[in-house]
Amino acid sequence: MEQPSERKPLRADAARNVDKIITAARQCFREHGPEVPLQTIAATAGVGPATLFRNFADKEQLVLAALSRELRQHADPVAQAALDGMDAAEGLINLIDSVMRVASDEANLLSAVAGRRVLLVGITRGLIDTMATLLERGQGQGSLRRDITIEDMVRLVAMLIGAVDTMEPGSEAWKRPLALVEDAIRTERPSRPLPAQSDIPGVSFSEAV
């Protein structure tokens, strides 16, 4: 499947339509959930269904394009700052923080590709490469454990993203598990308290025990 980054340059009017469709998709997924029909997205964008399908063959392609745009806007600048910074471990955590913020804010978009998360690798390849560079630098600086591989980091981030399903969308509940991951990958545990615990929606542990 063609990835969003592989699209050919569009005419100005076509590019505006794509932008309107992606913006509408984010709004509709937030308001209606992952099962929102494409016709609803087209109507919200103010375009006809034919225009939507001319640019996006299916919902999956539209979801990936929307997620790709959010990562470019919110994670890519953090990745560049991390590469330019002196503290690789801090940069790596900041990068994961930015990815998790997008994952939480766009939880319904992620749910639309649940079970096919491998598709996300295509739009996060650059971020993974940056993570690998920061990991190697941090290990060289002595701030990150030398026995951790980039495969470990990708799986840890995937676990964190999966945990978004247990949180209120748009919340910062992911900050606590991210802090636990930071404790695990650093050579020295940071001297700071864990972020506050949050409830799991729909689950009461006081009733379960």
- Residues 88-141: tens digit of each pLDDT: 999 999 999 999 999 999 988 888 876 666 667 778 899 999 999 999 999 999
The number of C-alpha atoms within 13 Å of 116 and in the hemisphere containing its C-beta is 9
The terminus-to-terminus CA distance of the chain in angstroms comes to: 47
In whole angstroms, what is the distance from residue 108 CA to residue 99 CA? 15
- The domain locations on the chain are 11-57, 68-185
Long-range contacts of 148-153 (CB under 8 A, 24+ apart): 148/185, 153/92, 153/185
pLDDT of residue 101: 94
- Residues 127-153: tens digit of each pLDDT: 999 999 999 999 999 999 999 999 999
Q: Quick check: 26 and 73 in contact, CB under 8 A?
A: no
Give the percent of the chain with pLDDT over 90.
67
Q: Do domains 11-57 and 68-185 have the same CATH topology?
A: no
pLDDT of residue 9: 54
The token duo for 175 is 């900050």
- Residues 194-205: tens digit of each pLDDT: 999 988 887 776
Q: In CATH, what number does 11-57 get?
A: 1.10.10
In whole angstroms, what is the distance from residue 100 CA to residue 170 CA? 10
Q: Judge: domain 68-185, CATH 1.10.3720.10.
A: no
What global pTM score does this model have?
Answer: 0.86
CA torsion sign, 160 to 161 to 165 to 169?
A: positive
